[in-house]
Structure 1
Amino acid sequence: MKVLNLQCAHQHEFEGWFGSEDDYTSQLERGLVSCPMCGDVHIQKKLSAPRLNLRAGRQEAQAPAEPAAGTAVAIEQPRWRSPTWSAMQARIMQALREVMANTEDVGERFADEARAMHHGEVEHRQIRGQASPQEALELMEEGIEVIALPSVPGIKETLQ
């Protein structure tokens, strides 16, 4: 099994699991590899360090010395590439998956369904759907709680 660090053209980072390098290449060429955040199929592999399980008993690692002239040195990555940013992106994806799993998609009927529940015309349940900014504002003015969420194409599917 090959675990690859991938990135789309919009700088979203994610992990992909493939049976082999050929499997990854084949899926990429057929447009089957896409970003779970935005659905982009323009994917590139990122550099990743292999996980090495070294035996116990080796000497303690020493603090790195100053690099010699001509030695490459890593510079700080942009904020959106930091481990903190990646962790935040993962938490957002998890929260969106929970919303998707625990709500009913009513599509463009969202405003009408929310009003019908608010007025007791239909049974209360957790719903999601589409509403224009104007419709959302009107719902809030009527005392109906709504929250705008990003539209993430890959969120409905299990990512592997």
Structure 2
Amino acid sequence: MIVFDLICRDGSHQFEGWFGSSDDYDKQQLAGLIDCPTCGSRAVEKAVMAPNVGMKANQRSSSDKPSRFEAGASDSAEGAQPVSNAVEVSPEYAKLIDKLAEAQAKILEKSEWVGTDFPEQARAIHYGEKEAAPIHGTATADDAAELDEEGIEILPLPLPVKPPKSQN
């Protein structure tokens, strides 16, 4: 797949187009199959684009240190969350994520990891079968919906959590 920044000459609307290859773009352009999603104009051409060439994933400069949000993710495929392989992150966004990661880490410091037993443990605490204590773990969307229906308050964590056993 290749992504081109496109622009319509009629309204100067800029948008992205995804194509199987550069040749696919050329063929679709010649056939008049590309139009502006804003105004419908077929007078569309490639916009000027700067190449985005980054370092290999296994290379870092000595001054680069991974930010908190680059490390760790849930090992479970169940209840998987959307992720991105975007390399470019604005400094403002990186600072925001770092602050969010710090806040989440402070909350989880005083919380016990219960892993996939989270729904059962949350129920036990809610129904007084277990002493009240802060816990965190994993739950599917269906589990979370059931807990909510039972009136058990839970809060989705904004960032992935690496299970303690899999941390170095």
Per the shorter chain, which TM-score range? 0.3 to 0.5
Which structure is higher in RCO with an 8 Å CA cutoff and minimum separation 6? 1
TM-score by length of 1: 0.48
TM-score by length of 2: 0.46
